[in-house]
Amino acid sequence: MKITVYNDWDHVPKAESSGGGEVILAWDGEYRKGDIIEFAELTPGQFYVVKVDATIDPALVLIKEETVLYTVPFYERKTSYNPLSFVGNRHIVTIRKAADYEVSSYRNLALNPFDQHEVSGVYPHASANVETRGEAVFAARNAIDGCKATLSHGEWPYESWGINRRDDAEFTLDFGRKVDFDRIVLYTRADFPHDNWWVEGTLSFSDGSSEVINMDKRIQEPHVFEIRRSGIEWIKLGNLIKAEDPSPFPALTQIEVYGTEAK
């Protein structure tokens, strides 16, 4: 495996490191707009643990590509990240093959702080048919980054999936393989009175089944649904019905799906 940092316009490496089962790249220098962190010589279909910055939690992910390009966020795209992410003149980036016990454990199968808006081949991956004004702070990926601060909206740590007032808004969580789960947890945004909230929604699954879920006005407590499914590749959240409230702004802060790899 190999990690390389370079700028997209000249591809001259700023730093690089390689290894077998684990690669650690610690380097001195500054990230600039257009910088790419490249993870190369990977085995497609392998689980990896990736830590892309000291301020971002490690991500246990399934990677189906030989190479993954991570675009270092700047300016508006940076607003959904910790302001300390990717700054300064000393950095560490790591990747290692996930241990069998990590992959087989009961865990939150939705969690992926390494997820990127426009990149496929790394799972779990979040997407949606609408994101408010196309802004980073309202992107679908925010709902699986592990940050569960619900009491405001906008820049980190209050990033969320925003639906731009659309009644047909739909969120998709793609696992990239089959998984089994028994619990789904939703943290809905609670920046009242700015926000509205959903009273009903539908969870649809790749096996063709669905579940209507009921919700209410929550401040910080999550909605917990004991839903059991096996062999599921993706989940969609849609048919979202807002409460009778003047605000047109419901939003999803986080989704968690607890289970294991499919047996």
Q: Which helix (H) or strand (E) holds 100?
A: helix 100-104
Rounded mean pLDDT, 214-222: 95
Residue with tokens 């190369």: 40
Q: Is the pLDDT of residue 118 over 90?
A: no
> Domain 107-261 adopts which CATH fold?
Jelly Rolls (2.60.120)
Q: What pLDDT score does 172 carry?
A: 98
∠ CA 61-97-205 to the nearest 5 degrees?
25
Contact 173, 255 (CB under 8 A): yes
Tokens of 14: 């700023």
One-letter identity of residue 199: V
- pTM value? 0.96
**Bridge partners (DSSP) listed for residue 13:** 6
pLDDT tens digits along 18-62: 999 999 999 999 999 999 999 999 999 999 999 999 999 999 999
Dump pLDDT digits (tens) for 55-104: 999 999 999 999 999 999 999 999 999 999 999 999 999 999 999 999 99
Mean pLDDT of the chain: 97
pLDDT over threshold 90, residue 120 = no
CB–CB of 113/82 below 8 Å? no
Q: 126: which 2 tokens? A: 């979040």
Q: Give the pLDDT confidence of 155-197 residue by residue, as tens digits.
A: 999 999 999 999 999 999 999 999 999 999 999 999 999 999 9
Instruction: Show me where the domains of the chain are located.
Output: 2-104, 107-261
What is residue 202's predicted lDDT score, i.e. its pLDDT? 98
